[in-house]
Chain A
Amino acid sequence: MHQWIVLFTAVMSGLIFGFGLILSGMVNPAIVLAFLDIAGTWNASLLWVMGGAVGISAVAFFIARRRSAGFLGLPVNVSTSRVIDKRLLAGSFLFGAGWGIAGFCPGPALVMAGAGSAKALLFVGAMLAGMTLFEIVGHGQKNSTAS
């Protein structure tokens, strides 16, 4: 029974996350690219999205810090790593490059793939290939995973 509640809250989290991406317009790469295009007709949407999302989750992290376990009794898994290494820098750089080319990051791409968009499905397929490549060659001296 308990395990089903855990899976139910996970589905609900993904669902609400998806609703947020749809409502905010972040599922539309054109809006994301308009934010990244500072020399064009700049669209500030992403800034308000980040502000709203960071504001609400900051409250949750504040509450979580005072608890040793979540409301369902599960331990809270938050990375405590403070190491800023080459992997973090290079990985974020590669991600930023891909994000700038397509205007898709993983969440919106999965939501649009779920909507049946052929282009989003193509992106997600390539993203899974990139992740597979990482699993094969990228682990090296593995550091803690933040997310």
Chain B
Amino acid sequence: MDIEQIIERIDIFWPALAGGMLIGLAAALFLLANGRIAGISGIVGGIVGSLLHLNWRDLDWRLAFVLGLVISTLVWRQFLSLPAVQIQASDMMLVIAGVLVGFGTRLGSGCTSGHGVCGMARLSPRSIVATLIFMSTGFAVVYLLRHVVV
């Protein structure tokens, strides 16, 4: 590893760690104030369920959490510039991926936030297994798409 690579790694290390700690802080606030797990797929899926089954229980705080998430770039832009974002997947791939993520996270009861962060933090065996599976599947799919199917 040459000196430029080392500098590049330090450059990504601090924002990643600090950003991760902010995510942890958000999950901590939500748990200790609202008594809820900051699992995004569960929260969004709960909203979808509310609308389909016309059951308004728990709809208000779920909408409030999602509102905070959705306006985060708007608030961020008042103080700092947004980082560049590259979405390389084609529209068709985005649709396929979206359906898989939506259905899969609901069937598996969680995503990167619910299982990966909150579940791992409380050493839930279910969440550890779920995280190992979606991580390894992610590795395998990226390997297939980038190095096998070209």
Residue numbers in B under 8 Å from A147 (CB-CB): 37, 39-42, 109-111, 113-115, 118-119
* A56–B97 CB distance below 8 A: no
* B94–A126 CB distance below 8 A: yes
* B35–A131 CB distance below 8 A: no
The contact of A17 among B27, B106, B116, by CB within 8 Å, is: B27
Cα A54 to Cα B125 with chains together (Å): 15
Chain A 74-117 against B: per-residue CB contact (8 Å), 1 yes, 0 no? 11111101111001111111111111111111110111111101
Residue numbers in A under 8 Å from B146 (CB-CB): 37, 39-40
How many residue pairs, one in A and one in B, have C-beta atoms under 8 Å apart? 513
Query: Chain B interface: which size bin?
Result: 35 or more
Tell me the count of chain A residues lying within 8 A, CB to CB, of chain B.
119
* B69–A53 CB distance below 8 A: no
Give the residue name and chain of the B residue nearest to A87 (CB): B107
The contact of B104 among A26, A95, A110, by CB within 8 Å, is: A95
The contact of A56 among B28, B70, B96, by CB within 8 Å, is: B28
* A29–B109 CB distance below 8 A: no
Cα A98 to Cα B27 with chains together (Å): 24
The contact of A117 among B48, B71, B85, B97, by CB within 8 Å, is: B85
Residue numbers in A under 8 Å from B16 (CB-CB): 24-25, 44-49, 52
The contact of B34 among A74, A111, A128, by CB within 8 Å, is: A74
Residue numbers in A under 8 Å from B44 (CB-CB): 106, 110, 127-128, 131
Please report whether the interface of chain B is mostly helix, strand, loop or mixed according to DSSP: helix
Chain B 31-52 against A: per-residue CB contact (8 Å), 1 yes, 0 no? 1111111111110110011001
Residue numbers in B under 8 Å from A123 (CB-CB): 94-95, 97-98, 101
* A24–B18 CB distance below 8 A: yes
Give the residue name and chain of the A residue nearest to B89 (CB): A102
List B residues 1-58 near A (Cβ within 8 Å). Answer: 9, 12-13, 15-42, 44-45, 48-49, 52-53
The minimal Cβ–Cβ distance linking B140 to chain A, given in whole angstroms, is 7
What are 28 A-B pairs with beta-carbon distances under 8 A? A6-B61, A10-B61, A10-B64, A15-B75, A24-B18, A39-B143, A39-B147, A40-B147, A53-B23, A54-B121, A57-B117, A82-B125, A89-B129, A92-B133, A96-B141, A98-B100, A100-B139, A101-B89, A101-B93, A102-B98, A106-B40, A122-B94, A127-B102, A128-B102, A135-B49, A136-B52, A143-B109, A147-B110
